[in-house]
Amino acid sequence: MTCVPDATLLDTLARLLGPKGFTRDPADLAPWLTDWRGRVHGAAAALLSPSSTAEVAEVLRLADKHRVAIVPQGGNTSMVAGATPPADGAALILSTRRMHAIRSLSAEDNVAVAEAGVVLSDLHDAAASIGRRFPLSLASKGTATIGGLISTNAGGTQVLRFGTMRALVLGIEAVLPSGEIFDGLSALRKDNRGYDLRQLLAGAEGTLGVITAASLRLVPAIGLRAVAWVGLRESQAAITLLRRLEAATGEAVESFEIVPDEGLALVLRHIPGTRAPLADAHRWNLLIEAVAPAGAADPADSLGTVLGDAIADGLIEDAAIAANEAQAESFWRLRESMSEAERIDGLAAKHDVSVPVSAMPAFLDEGRAAVEARFPGTRVLAFGHLGDGNVHFNVRAPIGVDDRAWLERDGKAVSAFVHDMAGARGGSLSAEHGIGQTKLADFARTAGPARLAALRAIKEALDPRGIMNPGKLVPGPRAVAQGGRSQ
């Protein structure tokens, strides 16, 4: 149990952080009390915006002493309400937005040291300024911050080649719940000194401490890129094509995204200025990007060869390689407009599931059939990161039904059904978004006793007073796990 902060503590914090770092003004707090998707509403006693790691350490020391809950917040772009405070209003929001310095940039080391509040697109710009790039990007890049991206182990469209956020983190500086500073910022490519606390803090959703800065891997800037749009009939053929491309180009393939025909149709209907890249409609579409550093062979050559062979032997039906950057952008716009087109079309029960890559074609086909049979009239729209075994598997209401009422009534049952389908294939109910608040119940239901016991033991060990982001990620002891083995 955490406590309500008393006036003395709030005064102490106000003096510590100054007027830029402390506010209780409801107008200042309002934007930070509701989650990104507008579904979860919380309350907070104050908004703290420390300007340094030392200030964060002092805040946590005080919070631990007074047993007051801290909710760390970056850009507040969580898809699972992971940064939204509880409704009781006793928590303090700790925003990292004033800690937005890029402390160092090294082209020689291929490392950027960024504070937690650095916005992703600012990091992209900084890396570009030294001829490098930070190879992780996602739709909220103009708002999402480094601290939040690490805490949720964010994914995006380049995971195929470079992995998720945790693979790009070379070092972390964090404040532990005790107020002690963990300085693991040094960007070592090899370091075997005990349990990897950096990897434990990555993906911990702020429940084990506050990440204040990170050393991040940079890679060479893109010299040339080739973007292709592919039409095909069988989802299984997409995996075969991916393996052919990998064999022919090494790790040049950075994105391998799938969009079904009805998804492309939605985009063409709702997003002005879009047009289909291929003459005919195809059951499935792929967006493929391959890149090469400056001076290397044009990736369009090997991409073109593989796609040409695949058309010739009937693996795929058609393909187009973008002739220029404008066309490449227009291909990407089709993929990136999927969520917006879907939203314009109506509400959906959304899922962010993963299965082993080779199991994904069957999951797409059989999963869709199973959902539409179990919930008659519903329409499945699954699209996304096929090369990572991760799709956004969304279920829309039956036509003619009030989608809000349907979601209210059937949403939980649909989600449990989809999550169980993924679990039955060895998959995960959260590939990218984390657990936060909105997936906590389904996670508790499916995690199994070994995983749950380990998570709770770690949480209790590092945050014994339970002040860090309570109610997120770690199911409470009342959540009863079912089944034998953990998944």
State which of positions 385-414 bind a second copy (CB under 8 A). Answer: 385, 388-390
The rounded distance, in Å, linking the Cα atoms of 232 and 130 is: 40
Among 98, 126, 143, 182, binds a second copy (CB under 8 A): 182
CB of 245 to a second copy, least distance (A): 11
Interacting stretch for a second copy, rule CB under 8 A, among 35-43, 107-115, 363-371, 393-401? 107-115
Taken as a whole, the chain contains a residue count of: 487
Please pick, from the candidates 4, 16, 121, 196, the single residue that binds a second copy as defined by CB under 8 A. 196
**Runs of H (alpha helix) within 67-154:** 120-129, 146-151
Q: Is 167 one of the binding residues for a second copy (CB under 8 A)?
A: yes
C-alpha to C-alpha distances, 328 to 131, 149, 182, 224, 245, nearest whole angstrom: 21, 27, 43, 12, 19
Interface with a second copy, residue 178, by CB under 8 A: yes
Angle 253-381-138 from CA coordinates, rounded to 5°: 45
Tokens of 65: 């002493």
Q: Which of 18, 89, 142, 250 binds a second copy (CB under 8 A)?
A: 250
- Strands 284-292 and 253-260 turn out to be antiparallel
The piece of 137-145, 201-209, 342-350, 364-372 that touches a second copy (CB under 8 A) is 201-209
Q: What is the distance between the alpha carbons of residues 457 and 449, in angstroms, rounded to a whole number?
A: 12
Q: Taking the complex as a whole, how short is the minimal distance between the CB of residue 444 and a second copy, in angstroms?
A: 11
Q: Is 428 in the site for a second copy (CB under 8 A)?
A: yes
Task: Name which position in 45, 241, 355, 364 contacts a second copy (CB under 8 A).
Answer: 355
- How do beta strands 92-95 and 70-73 pair? parallel
Of the residues 119, 252, 267, 397, which one makes contact with a second copy according to CB under 8 A: 252
Q: How far is the CB of 467 from a second copy (least distance, A)?
A: 15
21 binds a second copy (CB under 8 A): no
Q: Shortest gap between Cβ of 421 and a second copy (angstroms)?
A: 14
C-alpha 311/C-alpha 317 separation (Å) is 6
Strand partners, 231: 285, 318
Site membership for a second copy, residue 15 (CB under 8 A): no
Stretch of 7-15, 30-38, 282-290, 479-487 lying at the interface with a second copy (CB under 8 A) = 479-487
Is the CB of 128 or the CB of 294 nearer to a second copy?
A: 294
Q: Are the CB atoms for 93 and 443 separated by under 8 Å?
A: no
The region of 1-9, 338-346, 400-408, 451-459 touching a second copy under the rule CB under 8 A is 451-459
Task: Find, among 361, 260, 242, 251, the residue nearest to 307 by Cα.
Answer: 242
CB nearer to a second copy: pick between 33 and 306 = 306
Nearest to 174 by CA among 72, 274, 293: 72
Q: Taking each helix axis from N to C terminus, what angle separates 360-374 and 235-249, rounded to the nearest 10 degrees? A: 160
Is residue 187 close enough to count as binding a second copy by CB under 8 A? yes
Residue 246 touches a second copy, criterion: CB under 8 A: yes
* CA angle (471 as vertex; 467, 475 as ends), nearest 5: 115
190 counts as binding a second copy under rule CB under 8 A: yes
